[in-house]
């Protein structure tokens, strides 16, 4: 079984760029809790596993063939969460695009305070007052991601720029995921280095983000 995260509480937390500040979230504009994805366990889900699907279920369980645990959860990419269903013990592939729905936009699949992973849903704006790197700074400076300050970071930029920064965050997460699971004390340092483009082969995402500019370059 892969070394991943500990048991997650219903309230999710966000890993900041600084790597040292972790805060709980309760706002619907950020992490979408996965209450709806476990409905299959009560709606015929167990029958599917007993009808010739044992091999497939084993592949989707823990790496040792047993039930998965939250230690197995991870983000496959920016938009895909591998979620451990606590009732069935099977890893389920969750689309963050579907989780965020039509009213919100998926920023990225991301690790939380306890290293469980979740979809981070936001509401971007229509005018790019903040570039990708400025959005990154804004999120870090706000501190509390559930504050109006943090919400305004995304409303002050566009969906395209939001996704650019999300790509960088996703790359850093995937690069640091094994280290974060093995040595949580070093996780923040790893994320800083990866987002800076000096670790984990995220230099392309870093360059693209740095090259992004506002709609009016003369604006701050």
Percentage of residues in the chain with pLDDT exceeding 90? 40
Q: What is the rounded distance in angstroms from the CA atom of residue 137 to the CA atom of residue 30?
A: 17
What pLDDT, on a 0 to 100 scale, did the predictor assign at position 2?
41
Q: Is the pLDDT of residue 58 over 60?
A: no
What pLDDT, on a 0 to 100 scale, did the predictor assign at position 11?
27
What pLDDT, on a 0 to 100 scale, did the predictor assign at position 63?
54
What pLDDT, on a 0 to 100 scale, did the predictor assign at position 220?
53
Q: Which backbone phi and psi does 202 adopt, to 5 degrees?
A: -105, 20
**Domain map (residue ranges) of the chain:** 12-211
Pick the most confident of 26-30, 67-71, 182-186: 182-186
Cα distances (Å, whole numbers) of residue 185 to 82, 111, 171, 194: 24, 15, 20, 16
Question: How do residues 9-53 score in pLDDT, each as one tens digit?
Answer: 222 333 332 232 333 333 334 444 444 444 444 444 444 444 544
Classify burial at 126, counting beta carbons within 10 Å of its beta carbon; exposed 0-12, middle 13-18, buried 19 or more: exposed
Q: What is the rounded distance in angstroms from the CA atom of residue 139 to the CA atom of residue 28?
A: 17
Total count of residues recorded for the chain? 220
Q: Is the pLDDT of residue 108 over 80?
A: yes
28-44 burial code (b ≥16 CB/10 A, e <16)? ebbbbbbeebbebbeee
Determine contact, residues 106/29, Cβ cutoff 8 Å: no
Whose structure tokens read 């269903």? 85
Determine contact, residues 85/69, Cβ cutoff 8 Å: no
Tell me the pTM: 0.71
Confidence of residue 81 (pLDDT cuts 50, 70, 90): very high
What pLDDT, on a 0 to 100 scale, did the predictor assign at position 62?
54
What pLDDT, on a 0 to 100 scale, did the predictor assign at position 131?
96
Question: How do residues 143-170 score in pLDDT, each as one tens digit?
Answer: 766 678 878 899 999 999 999 999 999 9
> 164: which DSSP letter?
H
Poorest-pLDDT segment among 39-43, 60-64, 108-112, 194-198:
39-43
Helix axes 159-182 and 187-195, enclosed angle (nearest 10) = 140
Q: Is the pLDDT of residue 193 over 90?
A: yes
Determine contact, residues 69/168, Cβ cutoff 8 Å: no
What pLDDT, on a 0 to 100 scale, did the predictor assign at position 170?
96
Average pLDDT, the chain: 74
What pLDDT, on a 0 to 100 scale, did the predictor assign at position 219?
53
Q: What is the rounded distance in angstroms from the CA atom of residue 59 to the CA atom of residue 129?
A: 46
Please name which of 40, 15, 27 lies closest in space to residue 104, comparing C-alpha atoms. 27
């Amino acid at each position: 079984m892969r070394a991943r995260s500990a048991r997650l509480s219903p309230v999710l937390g966000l890993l900041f760029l600084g790597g040292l500040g972790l805060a709980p979230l309760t706002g619907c504009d950020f992490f979408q809790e996965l209450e709806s994805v476990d409905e299959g366990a009560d709606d015929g889900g167990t029958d599917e596993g007993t009808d010739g699907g044992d091999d497939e279920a084993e592949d989707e369980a823990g790496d040792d063939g047993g039930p998965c645990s939250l230690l197995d959860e991870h983000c496959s990419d920016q938009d895909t969460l591998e979620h451990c269903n606590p009732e069935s013990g099977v890893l389920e592939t969750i689309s963050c695009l579907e989780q965020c729905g039509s009213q919100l936009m998926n920023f990225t699949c991301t690790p939380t305070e306890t290293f469980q992973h979740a979809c981070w849903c936001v509401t971007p704006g229509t005018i790019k007052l903040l570039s990708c790197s400025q959005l990154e700074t804004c999120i870090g400076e706000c501190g509390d991601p559930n504050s109006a300050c943090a919400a305004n970071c995304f409303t002050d930029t566009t969906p395209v720029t939001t996704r650019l920064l999300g790509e960088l965050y996703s790359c850093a997460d995937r690069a640091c995921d094994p280290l974060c699971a093995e040595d949580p004390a070093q996780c923040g340092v790893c994320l800083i280095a990866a987002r800076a483009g000096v670790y984990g082969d995220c230099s392309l995402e870093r360059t693209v983000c740095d090259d992004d500019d506002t709609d009016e370059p003369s604006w701050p």
